[in-house]
Amino acid sequence: MEHRKDIGELFKDRLDDAKKAPKQALWERLDASLNKRDKKRRTAAWFWYGGAGILLALLFLAGVLATSDSKTINENATEISSKENTLETERNTTKNKMAPSEAESTITIENQTNVAKTAVPDTVSSTTISPANATKKGTSNTGTTPTKKSVTKDGFKVTTTHEYYNSDLDTTTTSQNKKKIDSLVAANKRMMAVKDSIARKRASDSIKLNKAKTDSIPE
């Protein structure tokens, strides 16, 4: 019985650290599998890089399109704004033709020797450049005594006077403070808007009244 041993132990003794060579063809098979795997990885890498490239290109394109769209919108907005300005200018010009201008700004450049006169029309005012010895130049019939003076390098004395003529009241307000004139113009606009709305309401009321009268007449 001393020679008898646990079968598990005997197997362990014999099989421990044993070696056996596999078939020669196994490396060729493994090599082929490794090549196949590398090819797959390369394809996957190309797929991902390509996908990423396409995505970047699309993002870039989208960015470019968005920028050009916003530019177009800005350009359109500018165009609309310039059209509005033109319309307002035309309206004011018409008003100026119909009645004396509501607001005028006169710039007088005074020079002892040089004589130059240029009228630059503005949306709400006309500008006049006159020599220094001219006391008053421009479309306005209001007399202004320049109080604000400045001397340029060329020896020109520049004074800016703003005039506001209200054709409804037939009054002229003169000031070198443009803000004051601007506030007067704005206040007048508001008043005009109120008047317009009242007039529109009256007109619509009268239309309604007329219609009611017409309806009430039996056929």
Partner 1 sequence: MTQEQLIKGCRKNDRTAQSELFKQYKDTLYFVSLKYSRNAVEAEDNLHDAFMVIFDSIKKFENRGSFEGWMKRITMFKAIDRYKKNKYTPVDILEKTQAAEETVEKEELETISLDTLLQCVQELPDQYRLVFNLYQLDGYSHKEVARILNISEGTSKSNFHRAKVVLQKSITALTHQKISKHGA
Interface residues with partner 1 (CB under 8 A) are 3-12, 14-16, 18-23, 26-27, 29-31, 33-34, 37-38
Closest CB to partner 1 among 7 and 217? Answer: 7
The secondary structure of 51-62, three-state, reads HHHHHHHHHHHH
Q: Is 100 exposed, middle or buried (0-12, 13-18, 19+ CB in 10 A)?
A: middle
Closest CB to partner 1 among 33 and 183? Answer: 33
Q: Give least dist CB 29 to partner 1, A.
A: 6
Helix residue spans in 99-177 (DSSP H): none
Q: Give least dist CB 43 to partner 1, A.
A: 16
Q: Give least dist CB 77 to partner 1, A.
A: 58
Closest CB to partner 1 among 20 and 179? Answer: 20
What distance in Å separates the CA atoms of residue 37 and residue 30, rounded to the nearest whole number? 10
What distance in Å separates the CA atoms of residue 181 and residue 107, rounded to the nearest whole number? 15
Closest CB to partner 1 among 17 and 215? Answer: 17
